[in-house]
């Protein structure tokens, strides 16, 4: 299954480590990580997935594939800016949201529009987001509901 992981581009060390855990668990359970391909949660989840032997896809806002973080296996340049958020959500069968600001909030709205199950770790408390407390609970939720 492909799982979109969304979240803040600038995060604390604790949030970053949570993203690494989510990525590693997804990889260990044979899932592909899809994200925005840049820093913060996106880099953390890709680092974790890479460490767990899983593939990563980064759907980038700009025109340069070289802008992807070093743990992205398949960078996709879009030139769409924040409009690429729809592509991040649509290319996952489910979504894990970790932390995040307005960009993450837009992706959560798109997840509702496209009927994707969402697990939230310290993210916006909005309808359709199942708030969970651990990386394992997040992965369990998306596996059970995708």
**How many domains are there within the chain?**
1
Burial tier of 37 (Cβ tally within 10 Å: 0-12, 13-18, 19+): buried
Q: What is the pTM of this model?
A: 0.98
Residue pair 43/17 in contact (Cβ under 8 Å)? The answer is no
Strand, coil or helix: what is 34? Answer: strand
Range of the domain at 87: 2-145
Residue with tokens 């997804």: 26
Joined together, the tokens standing for residue 96 give 């894990």
pLDDT tens string 36-63:
999 999 999 999 999 999 999 999 999 9
Q: What local confidence, expressed as pLDDT, does residue 16 receive?
A: 98
pLDDT tens string 72-123:
999 999 999 999 999 999 999 999 999 999 999 999 999 999 999 999 999 9
CATH number of the domain enclosing 103: 3.40.50.450
Please enumerate in sequence order all residues whose Cβ is within 8 A of that of 19, keeping only pairs 6 or more positions apart, or say none. Answer: 5, 7, 11, 40, 41, 42, 43, 44, 45, 47, 48, 98
Cα 131 to Cα 28, 49, 59, 122, 139: the distances in Å are 22, 22, 25, 7, 12
Q: What local confidence, expressed as pLDDT, does residue 85 receive?
A: 97
């Amino acid at each position: 299954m492909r799982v979109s992981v969304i979240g803040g581009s600038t995060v604390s060390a604790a949030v970053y480590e949570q993203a690494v855990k989510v990525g590693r668990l997804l990889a260990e359970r044979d899932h592909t990580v899809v994200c925005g391909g840049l820093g913060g949660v996106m880099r953390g989840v890709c680092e974790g997935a890479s460490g767990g032997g899983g593939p990563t896809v980064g759907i980038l806002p700009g025109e340069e594939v070289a802008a992807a973080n070093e743990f992205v296996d398949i960078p996709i340049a879009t030139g769409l800016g924040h409009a690429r958020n729809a592509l991040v959500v649509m290319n996952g069968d489910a979504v894990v949201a970790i932390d995040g600001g307005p960009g993450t909030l837009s992706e959560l709205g798109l997840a509702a529009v496209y009927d994707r199950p969402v697990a939230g770790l310290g993210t916006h408390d909005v309808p359709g987001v199942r708030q969970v407390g651990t990386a394992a609970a997040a992965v369990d939720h998306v596996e059970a509901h995708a």
